[in-house]
Structure 1
Amino acid sequence: MEKMEHIIPDEQAGERIDKVLSTLNADWSRTQVQQWIKDGNVLVNGQKPKTNYKCSANDKIEISIPEPEELDVVPEKMDLDIYYEDQDVLVVNKPKGMVVHPAAGHGTGTLVNGLMSHCTDLSGINGVMRPGIVHRIDKDTSGLLMVAKNDMAHESLVNQLMNKTVTRKYRAIVHGVIPHDYGTIDAPIARDPKDRQSMTVVDNGKHAVTHFQVLDRFKDFTLVECQLETGRTHQIRVHMKYIGYPLAGDPKYGPRKTLDLGGQALHAGILGFVHPRSNEYLEFEAPLPAYFQELLDNLANNR
């Protein structure tokens, strides 16, 4: 493990430590530096700092630079539905039923396995198991994802997500007939203390906001477009359940008697962001998957 030291000069006093360290090497991003701080690889005057530590003049910073891990995720040839690709970013339409990235004991058949076969240049910020992955959608949610092919692009896209400037619109079919045409759900989300595998609305949860618009109403269901302002785990599924209109087909948050769709009727159909290099706004739209459109047709025929 390589080690280096940096003494804080007067002109860097008062700046956040992650910002200071990311200026020392063009290959280091703030996100990467923050992870090193969390992992205990950065010391300030011999002590572990917080990621938001403000530097003082003459602080002695010691950095232990971790060796790059060998990627042990196996590339797998897949027929990926790629909507856009250049040297920095890639936009892919993930099918329902596919996991985004490997996890412990689940190392094959994921989108990341397919991406690694398709291209060798993926950002390393998220580590061995999630190269290039900036944001996720659930296994049984279909739709568009942006992928970073280098750390510069990764940091730009993450910052856009944090600043809530990424356009993310989903189509969902929910149980019940929503009477009003528009709504905003502002309710904090955290892990359910009674069921650690599920998320729920709790007072001390993370800030979460979902905007929705009714697109069509059926006998017992509603088609809605949900726009994410934040991106919490299972956010749309939890929020729609919270207001009494859970997603059709959702085995975790739906009613006991729901439609057998092999998972929730949720599709990430529109994705827009500013290109990290050109600063041009790009927006993409993926059509509804066949099962979703078929369900809509059946609902329309049985109004």
Structure 2
Amino acid sequence: MIKVNDMRFHLSFNVTEDGIKLRDFLGAQQISKRTLTAVKYNGGTLLVNGIERDVRHILNSSDRIDVYFPPEETSDGLEAEEGDLALVFEDDFLLILDKPAHQSTMPSFNHRSRTIANFVARKFISEKIPSTVHIVTRLDHNTSGLVCIAKNRHIHHLLGNQVSNGTFKRGYAAIVEGHFFPDYIMINEAIGRKDGSIIERIVRSDGQKACTEVHVTDRFVINRQKLTKIELKLHTGRTHQIRVHMKWTGHPIHGDDLYGGSQSLISRQALHCESLQFKHPITNKSLTFTAPLPLDMKRILSHNQ
């Protein structure tokens, strides 16, 4: 029996053909076997026309299916903390936030608290959203810009599929050292961990495939220092991918001291996720979100006026 105030994440579907098993129908809706197992054993419910059924039930056209997903518990070690979130978009399924530089997306050994995930966990608790925090796209501690967060593991699964198949588009802006040529390049260089380091990555033949698209938008000089503003598109999502690829070209990101960038004009890598484009996981509507450059990067560009 479903309670009137049931707060569990819930999706409804209408059946349009006869004779298909409930399990197969839900699979066609991209509900994974793992999720169905969790629904069965961890507090979820499957209803067909308001009656609880198992996954072997045979459906008829015009049937209505309601899937109540099991409530999720906050991940161990993720402390819920009050903090400001720069909200760009929110609905029942996902969040888009504009992360400032000098804030981590998730807790780590060096940054255990005051992360985006800590703040979102508190938001979910205060709004009685029965979910843990599902980061779809994350940014390095000192990279600013757009972050996508799912409100349920199934939504995370659907968005993760888009990331994997390349239909989830991420656009970045950066300021790099030197005058970068040519105006356009596609970098296809595998990336792996640098020997002896748990943090730094390098281009190496035995690494993971990595592809970054680079467009030059401006070349300029400040205090005799040559700089280039570029826009980038990620076609894969390796750790430090843009930073590593730009170092490999001989044009590290300005401010990125880990990968050889000078900090004469900025105290962190001048890298910003300025756009996200993807299909809404439920409505299939095309979504585009943008975030303006932060002040520290604008200040550098203003010297070029």
TM range (shorter): 0.7 to 0.9
CA shift at 1:116, angstroms?
1.2
2:88 matched residue in structure 1? 83
How many percent of aligned residue pairs carry the same amino acid? 38
The equivalent residue for 2:183 is 181
Distance across 1 between alignment mates of 2:166 and 2:249: 23
Select which of 199, 203, 213 maps to 2:201: 199
Q: 1:228 to 1:105 in 2, by over 3 A?
A: closer
Partner of residue 153, structure 1: 155
Instruction: Determine helix, strand or coil for the equivalent of 1:99.
Output: coil
Instruction: Please tell me whether the aligned partners of residues 170 and 233 of structure 2 are also in contact (alpha carbons under 8 angstroms).
Output: yes
Q: Name the SS of the counterpart of 1:218 in structure 2.
A: strand
1:238 and 1:123, CA in 2 relative to 1: closer, same or farther beyond 3 A? farther
- The 5 Å alignment of 1:47-196 reads 71-104=76-109, 106-120=111-125, 121=129, 123-124=131-132, 131-196=133-198
Cα distance, 1:274–1:69 mapped onto 2, change above 3 Å:
closer
Query: 2: CA distance between counterparts of 1:249 and 1:20?
Result: 43
Distance change >3 Å, CA 189–CA 70, structure 1 → 2: closer
Distance, in Å, in 2 between the alignment partners of 1:23 and 1:249 is: 43
Do 2:175 and 2:229's aligned partners in 1 also have CA atoms closer than 8 Å?
Answer: yes
Q: Choose from 274, 277, 280 the match for 2:282.
A: 277
Q: Name the TM-score, length of structure 2 as normaliser.
A: 0.73
User: How far apart are residue 122 of structure 1 and its match?
Assistant: 6.8
Cα pair distance change 1:154/1:122, threshold 3 Å:
farther
Q: CA deviation at 1:187?
A: 0.2
User: Of residues 226, 235, 249 in structure 2, which corresponds to 1:229?
Assistant: 235
- 1:25 alignment partner, SS class: helix
Matched, 1:27 2:39: yes
The alignment's C-alpha RMSD in Å is 2.2
Q: State the one-letter code of the partner of 1:246.
A: P
TM-score (norm 1): 0.73
Residue 63 (structure 1) aligns with:
none
CA-to-partner distance for each residue in 1:53-82, whole Å, 9 max, x for gaps?
xxxxxxxxxxxxxx9676442222222111
What is the CA–CA distance in structure 1 between the aligned matches of 2:130 and 2:227, rounded to whole Å? 41
Are 1:259 and 2:271 counterparts?
no
Instruction: Output the amino acid matched with 2:86.
Output: D
Give unpaired runs (5+ residues) of structure 1: 1-11, 13-18, 29-66, 125-130
Instruction: Summarize the Cα distance change of 1:86–1:204 in structure 2 as closer, same or farther, 3 Å threshold.
Output: same
Q: For residue 210 of structure 2, what is the aligned residue in structure 1?
A: 208
User: Partners of 1:159 and 1:70 in 2: how far apart?
Assistant: 22
Q: Secondary structure at the match of 1:102?
A: coil
Q: Distance in 2 between matches of 1:183 and 1:105?
A: 35
Deviations 1:30-75 (A, max 9, x none): xxxxxxxxxxxxxxxxxxxxxxxxxxxxxxxxxxxxx967644222
Contact 1:95 1:142 in 2 (8 A): yes
SS class of match (1:271): strand
What amino acid is aligned across from residue 161 of structure 1 in structure 2?
Answer: V
Q: Compute the displacement of 1:102 (Å).
A: 1.1
* SS of equivalent to 2:87: strand
CA contact (8 A) 2:214 2:231 kept: yes
Q: Write out per-residue CA displacement over residues 64-106 of structure 1, whole angstroms, 9 at most, x where no aligned residue.
A: xxx9676442222222111111111000000000011112464
Q: For residues 151 and 167 of structure 1, what CA distance do their matches in structure 2 show?
A: 21
Q: What is the deviation of 1:284? A: 0.3
Shift of 1:136: 1.1
Give the number of aligned pairs. Answer: 238
Output the amino acid matched with 1:203: S
Matched with 1:248 is 254
Distance, in Å, in 2 between the alignment partners of 1:104 and 1:88 is 30
Corresponding position of 1:38: none
